[in-house]
Amino acid sequence: MTTYWHPFSDMRTVDQTGEFKIVKGKGSWVWDDQGNKYLDAGASLWYVNVGHGRKAIGKAMAKQASQMASFTNFSDVTVPITNELAEIVAGLAPVPDSKVFFTSGGSDSVDTAMKMVRKYWQLLNKPSKHTIIVRDRGYHGMHNGGTSLAGIPDNRAGYGALDEDVVKVPWDDHEALIKVLDEVGEDKIAALYCEPIMGAGGMLIAPDMYLDTVRKACIERDILFVADEVITGFGRTGDWFASTRFDLKPDIMLTAKGLTSGYAPMGAVIAAPKVWNVFAAEGVGVWRHGYTYSGHATCAAAAIANLKIMKDEQLPKRVRNMEGMFAEAFRSLNDLPSVATVRTGIGFLAGIEMVEPGANFPMMWTLRKHGIVTRPIVGNALQVSPALTTSEGEIHEMVKRFRAALS
């Protein structure tokens, strides 16, 4: 058996089927070690927004790594490239004058914000505001905090008591959510965690007005709104963020993946002035939270080069212009007897739900035979979230291959 213990894997199956070795990528395509070529329908794990093989990002990283790869950023120390990135990210953020707290990925961002929201209320002398509200089918990473927030039961099961001060609501029902907010009470609730579009939970788009109504409900009750944009951030929904597209103005926004397009592991928690001002108030002192690699200089170089590509090529706008074509192309699969429904319509995102229970797992292997790499997601679905650079022709080719496999 391979020594490499794969994440999210059944190692026994990996042993039986062997590892699938990816050795090269270019744009929306990847190659395995046998020379076979595949369309990367998932942009790896929802993150290669600018496509594979971007030399400019590699060069920027090499330059930074050979000059000052990283240095602790605790306290007053910084490597200036990290400040540069913070300015760029804050300039894109949905709320002006935001501050950017860097992490090493999405789960770090999720857990950082859990501490941030609770500490925020402590500092405001409202320590009873501690409960976190989450939605069924939500995915907020795999650290201890994020596992406590899991809306996918299988992701939460098997770890005993974690953080128990978490209340779950249905993913799509704003009235049920508001009822829970009022039952639990605003004096107890610290924050609502909300993925504007749910990815791992099955590519779920909430009904019209859901986000707007829920956002307003939080404002009215003084509950912090945390937008988990680890998937939806950086162009995926046809805007820089789902929060800018849907005018959510989150108190805190969680990002990772598209920040570097996965060329380096990095995330960012973007805090609106309402939040960071409280931490910066006189007498508060040190917030004893941070990671060794918060603001890692070589990762920052990757992010800057990545965001430059996104800006130069206007990728968020490109996706917005193409999303109608994208949705129509994937919806055409609805006529297949094996397909229950195709969830799509916003950005470069689709979830193809299958009819036969559990069919999405073996379909992953069938798709590979047809030159498509993607993965099963919750809700008996298949993930579609290609690079934001994918051409119209490649999208049609992708749909053609899905059709062949699903037939």
Where does residue 84 rank: exposed (0-12), middle (13-18), buried (19+ CB within 10 A)? middle
Radius of gyration of the chain from its Cα atoms, rounded to whole angstroms: 21
Q: Is the dihedral of CA 59, 64, 70, 74 positive or negative?
A: negative
Residue 251 engages ligand PLP in binding (rule: CB under 6 A): no
The least distance separating ligand PLP from the CB of residue 125, rounded to whole angstroms, comes to: 30
Q: Taking Cα atoms as reference points, which of 231, 272, 239, 236 lies closest to residue 253?
A: 272
Element at 100 (helix H, strand E): strand 99-103
**Distance of alpha carbon 146 from alpha carbon 289, whole angstroms:** 16
In this complex, which beta carbon is closest to ligand PLP, that of residue 28 or of residue 103?
103
Q: Least separation, in Å, of the C-beta of 4 and ligand PLP?
A: 17
**Under the criterion CB under 6 A, does residue 106 sit at the interface with ligand PLP?**
yes
Sheet holding 189-194, edge to edge: 99-103, 267-271, 252-255, 224-228, 189-194, 131-135, 166-169
Answer for which of 52, 99, 137, 140 binds ligand PLP (CB under 6 A) is: 140
Exposure class string for 218-257: b at 16+ Cβ within 10 A, else e? beeeebbbbbbbbbbbbbbbbbbbbbbbbebbbbbbbbbb
Provide, rounded to whole angstroms, the least separation between the CB of residue 351 and ligand PLP: 13
Residue ranges of alpha helices (H) inside 358-406 are 360-369, 392-406
**Nearest-CA neighbor of 140 among 173, 121, 162?**
162
**Does 195 sit near ligand PLP (CB under 6 A)?**
yes
Q: How many residues bind ligand PLP (CB under 6 A)?
A: 14
Closer residue to ligand PLP, CB minimum distance, 52 or 375: 375
Cβ proximity to ligand PLP, 333 vs 351, nearer residue: 351
Strand order in the sheet with 22-26: 22-26, 29-32, 37-40, 372-373
> Shortest distance, CB of residue 105 to ligand PLP, whole angstroms?
3
Binder among 49, 107, 243, 360 for ligand PLP (CB under 6 A): 107
- Shortest Cβ 107–ligand PLP spacing (Å): 3
Of 60, 81, 218, 256, the one binding ligand PLP by CB under 6 A: 256
Neighbour-count burial for 187-197, b at 16+ CB within 10 Å, e otherwise? ebbbbbbbbbb
Using CB under 6 A, which of the segments 122-130, 193-201, 324-332, 380-388 binds ligand PLP? 193-201
| Piece of the chain touching ligand PLP by CB under 6 A; list 122-130, 195-203, 330-338, 347-355 | 195-203
User: Which range touches ligand PLP (CB under 6 A), out of 85-93, 134-142, 215-223, 329-337?
Assistant: 134-142
Instruction: Give every strand in the sheet of 376-377, ordered side by side.
Output: 339-344, 350-354, 381-384, 376-377
Residue nearest to ligand PLP (CB): 106
Residue 95 or 256: the one with the smaller Cβ distance to ligand PLP is: 256
Stretch that binds ligand PLP, among 99-107, 119-127, 165-173, 285-293 (CB under 6 A): 99-107
- 141 touches ligand PLP (CB under 6 A): yes
- Report if residue 110 touches ligand PLP, rule: CB under 6 A: yes
Scanning 137-145, 281-289, 295-303, 317-325 for contacts with ligand PLP by CB under 6 A, the matching segment is 137-145
With respect to ligand PLP, which residue has the nearer C-beta, 231 or 406?
231
Nearby residues of 386 by Cβ (< 8 Å), 6 or more positions away: 28, 39, 40, 41, 42, 43, 348, 394, 395, 398
Evaluate whether 70 touches 64 at the Cβ level (below 8 Å): no
Per-residue x/- track, 203-242, ligand PLP (CB under 6 A): -------------------------x-xx-----------
Interacting residue ranges for ligand PLP, rule: CB under 6 A: 105-107, 110, 139-141, 195, 199-200, 228, 230-231, 256
